[in-house]
Amino acid sequence: METVLSVAEVSDHTCSIVQAGTTIGGYGHSDPNWTTPTATTANVACHYSPGGVREMVDARNQGTTIQHHTLWMKYADAPSTLLTPGSNVSHRVTTIKTTGGTSIDAGPFDITDITDMAGIHQMLRLTLKRIA
């Protein structure tokens, strides 16, 4: 009989999840502060899937290169702060390595979307974006 593994069970990478600190902007609003993060959760078991690269063609962003990637992880391995609504704005992914310790990508990656796959709290899909 063949064994079928889910993507979350093939944790062949590790990454760090960084939670931004907060600074107060000039108008009294809160902005993420990546210079002094609130917390960093290192060595989170995951599966990193690099994505495609495309160049923006709209007038405002013309010439900007955007890369989209996907990161899979077990729901139970995610920091609790990542599981709250809107947490994609205050978290980033850095330091992606193989489980053997070989560096894959230092990042940082903005998280554009966090999806609880099938809504059963077993696997998360993070859509990542890097603008270069």
How many other CB atoms are there within 10 angstroms of residue 70's CB atom? 16
**Is the pLDDT higher at 3 or at 64?**
64
Report the mean per-residue pLDDT for the chain.
85
Q: What is the pLDDT of residue 60?
A: 60
CB contact set of 122 (below 8 Å; sequence gap of 6+) = 6, 8, 74, 75
- Is it the case that residue 76 has pLDDT exceeding 50? yes
Architecture, CATH, for domain 7-131: Beta Barrel (2.40)
Is residue 126 within 8 Å of 117, Cβ to Cβ? no
More confident residue, 85 or 56: 85
Q: Indicate if the pLDDT at residue 20 is higher than 90.
A: yes
